[in-house]
A = this chain, B = another copy of it.
Amino acid sequence: MRKKNYPILVGLLLALSTTAPAAEKAQAFTRADLAAAATLRERALTDATAYALVESLTTEVGPRPAGSPGDQAAVAWAQREMQRLGFANVGTVDAFVPHWVRGEAEFSVLAPFPQSMPTLALGGSVGTGSEGVEADGVMVKDLDALAALPPGAVKDKIVFFSNRMERTRDGSGYGKAVAVRAGGPSAAAALGAAAIVIRSIGTSDSRFPHTGATRYTNAAPRIPALAISNPDADALVRQFESGKPVRLKLRSSSRDLPPVRSASVVGEVPGTDRAGEIVILGAHLDSWDPGVGAIDDGAGVAIMMGVAKLIRELDVKPKRTVRVVLFANEEFGTSGSLAYLAANEAEAPRHVLGFEADFGAGPVWRLASRVNPAQLPVVEQIYHALAPFKLVRGDNEAHGGADLEGLSKLGMPIIEPGLDGTKYFDVHHTANDTLAQVDPQALRQSVAAFAVSVWLGAQYSGTWERVTTEKAPRR
């Protein structure tokens, strides 16, 4: 997890914390700010708001993929709940979202050992027509292995990508494995393949195929793309390893419909003397369709709404405006956050600090950031305010998340209370993303850690300086 420059940073911070006078350290936050942070922390640990929100969203709305009736219902739900919680300036920012319809999918091994396996089409995959696609199979580990095959090796074949994702706490295993989902179809099609099947980008041994967006390039035909679960992928590997020819068949009725209008939902806890500065709290309202979107991203929605609710209930008002934005369509191209950025182009510099929760239901285990180095001591003080949670001190190369990427590229600082992703990819983008996967205690801890961080971010007495790419490279 630690990057090369981390020991240097630590040294710098230690030096600061031991040599800087106490008065200088205290300048960032008043005693009242720190007392309010402690109040937030304590209240959050017993507050049922976030869990009730994710329960309500998953029970009353359920799946809400871009363009679906659930997507529309979620927008209405979010406005209603923000108003109920007393947020100010509740409104929407329109966005056009793709409207891909999953339909049904089937995958079978015809030879050597006939078996059907549960499957899901990758998001955006073209369908096969009712007759399906039947062809010999070719197994490769990943995109590199595909590229290394001799010419013609996958012509008219169905390519099976067998590589398994690694389990990690910070989700880095996902980044390493997911390329095949986005790029596999076009890479295989460019070599003449008829279709692809991937091992799900997930860590569970339960029989849930995953889904997630694929991206066709214009340089190759669009071919169907399905995913199968880890245990089925293992079984398919055994079929290939029998040495006998493997014959596969797949069918999918996926199809694209015209894009439709959806919306991101915005609500605020208005600031006072620095009300023009916005601390943005991002999560996404859409979900994939096989599950009910509890951990992705009902939990993030609940954490951010829970944080703003607790801040609103403090006796003191925040200096800066705390703005919750529940983005439309994170999953299928982030058109919601792109539309938000376009609609707020002039106001982008007013977004002085960002938080994003899109990695499950916690607990928070680390505090990372991507701030101007001048504000690293401020992050350090926030870290101290989080001491009861015994977090790991992360580096200054945090990514934030997909929905704040646009603002982040414009130099907005990010503070990242890191959600523990050890089990996240057991469930992510599968039918098993249900409320049962949300641990209420971990969720409350996450709200507490975010609440303290957001509050202090909003109260910081100085200026959140912009981040330049040179100084804080993206991981």
Residues of A near any B CB (own CB < 8 A): 55, 58-63, 69, 112-115, 118, 205-208, 230-232, 234-235, 238-239, 291-292, 431-432, 434-437
Contacts and interface: CB of A to CB of B under 8 A. Distances in A.
Given A59-B113, A115-B62, A230-B436, A291 B207 contact: yes
Contacts of A206: 206, 208, 432, 436
Nearest to A113: B60
B207 A55 contact: no
Contacts of A61: 113
A434 B59 contact: no
A60 B206 CA distance: 20
A436 B58 contact: no
A114 B231 CA distance: 32
B238 A55 contact: yes
B431 A113 contact: no
B239 A59 contact: yes
Contacts of A431: 118, 207
Contacts of A436: 205-207, 230-231, 234
Given A62-B113, A113-B61, A434 B55 contact: no
7 contacts: A58-B235, A59-B238, A62-B114, A118-B431, A207-B432, A207-B434, A232-B434
Contacts of A434: 205, 207, 231-232, 235
Contacts of A58: 235
A58 B232 CA distance: 11
Contacts of A230: 436
A235 B115 contact: no
Most chain-B CB neighbours within 10 Å: which of A58, A114, A207, A436?
A: A207
A406 to B, nearest CB: 33
Contact of A292 (B115, B208, B432): B115
- Max count, chain B CB within 10 A of own CB: residue among A69, A232, A432: A432
Contacts of A437: 205
A235 B437 CA distance: 13
Scoring A206, A208, A435 by chain B CB atoms within 10 A of each residue's CB, the highest score goes to A206
Nearest to A232: B434
Contacts of A112: 60
Nearest to A58: B235
A434 B231 CA distance: 7
Given A62-B114, A231-B435, 9 more contacts: A59-B239, A60-B112, A62-B115, A69-B114, A205-B436, A207-B434, A231-B434, A231-B436, A235-B434
A118 B63 CA distance: 13
A63 B61 CA distance: 35
A452 to B, nearest CB: 30
Nearest to A434: B231
Contact of A435 (B55, B208, B234, B291): B234
A336 to B, nearest CB: 23
A58 B437 CA distance: 29
A55, A62, A231, A239: residue with the most chain B Cβ atoms closer than 10 Å = A231
Most buried by B among A61, A234, A436: A436
A424 to B, nearest CB: 15
A100 B278 CA distance: 62
A12 B230 CA distance: 52
**7 closest pairs, A vs B, by CB?**
A205-B436, A231-B434, A231-B436, A62-B115, A60-B113, A207-B432, A59-B238
Nearest to A294: B231
A234 B438 CA distance: 13
Given A291-B207, A292-B115, A59 B435 contact: no
Contacts of A292: 115, 235
Which of A59, A63, A208 lies at the interface centre, i.e. has the most chain B CB atoms within 10 A of its CB? A59
A131 B291 CA distance: 26
A61 B109 CA distance: 12
Nearest to A230: B436
Interface core residue of A55, A58, A431 (most chain B CB under 10 Å): A431
Nearest to A61: B113
A205 B434 CA distance: 9
B59 A235 contact: yes
Nearest to A427: B206
A110 to B, nearest CB: 13
A60 B58 CA distance: 39
A61 B291 CA distance: 30
